Amino acid sequence: MRRPVTVAAMGADVAERLITGEVRERLHRVADVRAVVDDFAGVDLSRTEVLFTSWSCPPVTAEVLARAPELRAVVHAAGSVKHHVTDACWERGIAVSSAAAANAQPVAEFTLAAILFANKRVVDIARAYRAARANDDWDARYPGFGNYRRTVGVVGASRIGRRVIELLRPFDVEVLVSDPYLDDDLGVRRVGLDELVAASDVVTLHAPDLPETRHLMDAGRLAAMRDGATLINTARAALVDQEALTRELAAGRLFAVLDHTEPEFLPPGSPLYDLPNVLVTPHIAGSLGGELVRMADLALDELSRYARGLPFEHPVERGSLSRSA
């Protein structure tokens, strides 16, 4: 197997966490790695055939491409390629692969845990129990709590949304899905977004951040959610009217699990920190820690396929970017 000349391009802190130990050894086995950089300025790209990228990769602009006449592929060891694969790359015919499928797994796992904990009221009961340091009548306090025959609404049949649906199959819940682009049968009931919002005990968001999805969960749809329902957002903050959601949460009518907020890391004075019916996490649902290796492994598989003259198993098509993360 030939070893294509490769430059790894990503943030220095990302490289430190991603390209370690076994990953580094395998990378050098499948590719002739000339440099690991966080900026293309001053880097000799004249013989580079592949860019092995991850988060904080600088944009691969027309100027960069002019210095890389032999570049044929970008293999991304992370999710979205929108931040660095430019129009110039597509116009040049650069083949692009992404590890979005690997990054979808921990987000789906986080979401599954959030759904099961939300319906069981685990976080709320634990907080109340810690405060009271005594037992209570939890059935009276949370009537009907539990997961049996609950309805879960999945907004967006993305990689993550589909994986969430798969992970929910062993449980006794009804799953609804809403996605205007869905054209295949996922084995669950497809409904309109307004019907899903009104019928679900948990609404979990997995749609991309696009102009048409901004405030998809607006004040009207939040008001249409069932009393005591839970909104889970592991997608993007822009999908939710956060001010309207905060009002609903402050009124105590809804619950929420928010891994994405606006701003990304809330200021100290945000009421979302203190509301008892909200679990806020600092954007941790995606690949972190040991989960980074899963993304690296998928990307290295793709690099190996390229080196053997095989097509990517996880290609990114330019046309799909208008409706993906």
Q: Please list the active-site residues.
A: 236, 264, 283
Which tokens belong to 108? Answer: 């789906």
Q: Is residue 17 helix, strand or coil?
A: helix
Residue 151 · residue 143 · CB < 8 Å = no
Please, where are the H alpha helices in 210-268? 219-224, 242-250
Ramachandran quadrant class, 213 (left: phi over 0; alpha: psi -120 to 50; beta: rest): alpha
Cα–Cα distance measured from residue 73 to residue 93, given in angstroms and rounded to the nearest whole number: 9
Q: What is the largest distance, in Å, between two alpha-carbon atoms of the chain?
A: 71
Residue 272 · residue 258 · CB < 8 Å = yes
Q: Is residue 286 helix, strand or coil?
A: coil
Q: Where are the beta strands (DSSP E) in 112-261?
A: 150-155, 173-178, 189-190, 202-205, 230-233, 255-258
Q: Given CA atoms 259, 263, 267, 272 in this order, what sign does their dihedral have?
A: negative
- Residues ≥6 apart with Cβ < 8 Å to 281: 257, 258, 259
Nearest alpha-carbon partner for 255 in 150, 132, 107, 106? 150
Cα–Cα distance measured from residue 265 to residue 279, given in angstroms and rounded to the nearest whole number: 14
Q: What is the DSSP letter of 169?
A: T
Count of other CB atoms within 10 angstroms of residue 138: 15
